[in-house]
Amino acid sequence: MQDFILYNAPQSTCSQRVRYVLNAKGLAFKEHKLDLFTGDQLKPEYLAINPNGVVPSLVHQGRAVTDSAVIMEYLEDILPGGLRPRDAFGAATMRAMMRFIDEVPTPAIRVPSYNLAFLPHYQAMTAEEFQAVCDAKPLRREFLMKMGRSGFPEPEMEEALGRLERGVQRMAAWLSDNGGPWVMGDQLTLADIAIMPVIVRMDDIGLSSMWAEMPAIQRWLDAIRATGAFAETYYYGSLLTEKYPHLKTAKPELRLAGSGL
């Protein structure tokens, strides 16, 4: 039996976190790439692994662990490797950072991502087909219903961009307070890995101007890209601009104007 089996999707930001931890620890794992648009995550065999119908899920020795933040901590629990401070206060500080990341920038990045790249898929559906997709997604139903088949409206986009800006500002404060190069100082931790896909996605879709006045974030991005695990994690097809080449040619200010925004 394969010790580690990862069910994930290449462009999924939450999947990218877990792939990075697995690669950083040098763990061999079997990867099942799910096609989220064809509904692989809603098939009975996957729902038996993760009843929430989202990615990623990690099966370790036949037992499923779900939720990306939980999986990251689980991997550090079973194979301690310096991705979490050893002292209790440091670990608590890291977890508080991760909670902020999961509450503020992580859900926010989904809004421009869906409007820019994923919306055409849903626009091609009938109203009945779209409603069926929404109803089949336990954790994403309300999110998709807000988007609808015409995209998130301007107030939703503005709110998401505001949350991303707050995330960038908080990250810059962490880097400043702790001296870098990582958000907790000298040690790369799960907090860095938690926010990594958000910053990479923002850079990919033309939102890097948000940290133009915060050079420490660009230095952080360059540093994490230079780690050995990064290239293994972001194999070709992991970036939205690789999956949807038309995003490369759009001017950044026009990318956010898609879908009538």
Q: Most distant CA pair in the chain: distance in Å?
A: 54
Domain range for 110: 88-260
In this prediction, residue 38 carries a pLDDT of 82
Binned at pLDDT 50, 70 and 90, residue 255 comes out as very low
Same domain, 54 and 107: no
Q: What is the rounded distance in angstroms from the CA atom of residue 75 to the CA atom of residue 147?
A: 34
Q: What is the rounded distance in angstroms from the CA atom of residue 46 to the CA atom of residue 59?
A: 11
In this prediction, residue 249 carries a pLDDT of 65
Distances, alpha carbon 37 to alpha carbons 201, 211, 241, in Å: 19, 32, 17
Residue after which a domain boundary falls, among 78, 110, 143: 78
- Given a contact cutoff of 8 angstroms between Cβ atoms, the answer to whether 72 and 17 are in contact is yes
Same domain, 236 and 115: yes
Residue after which a domain boundary falls, among 47, 78, 109: 78
Among candidate residues 217, 245, 116, 239, the one with its CA nearest the CA of residue 208: 217
Residue 227 lies in a domain: yes
Residue 140 lies in a domain: yes
> What average pLDDT does range 65-87 have in this prediction?
97
CATH number for position 243: 1.20.1050.10
pLDDT tens digits along 89-134: 999 999 999 999 999 999 999 999 888 777 777 777 788 877 877 7
CATH number for position 66: 3.40.30.10
Q: What is the rounded distance in angstroms from the CA atom of residue 100 to the CA atom of residue 91?
A: 14
In this prediction, residue 252 carries a pLDDT of 44
Residue 247 lies in a domain: yes
Same domain, 42 and 105: no
Q: CA torsion 32→34→39→40, rounded to 10°?
A: 0
Same domain, 140 and 214: yes
Same domain, 156 and 251: yes
pLDDT at 1 over 60: no
Q: Residues 6 or more apart from 101 whose CB is under 8 A from it?
A: 167, 191, 194, 195, 198
Same domain, 37 and 125: no
Same domain, 223 and 95: yes
The length of the chain is 261
In this prediction, residue 248 carries a pLDDT of 72
Residue 83 lies in a domain: no
Number of domains in the chain: 2
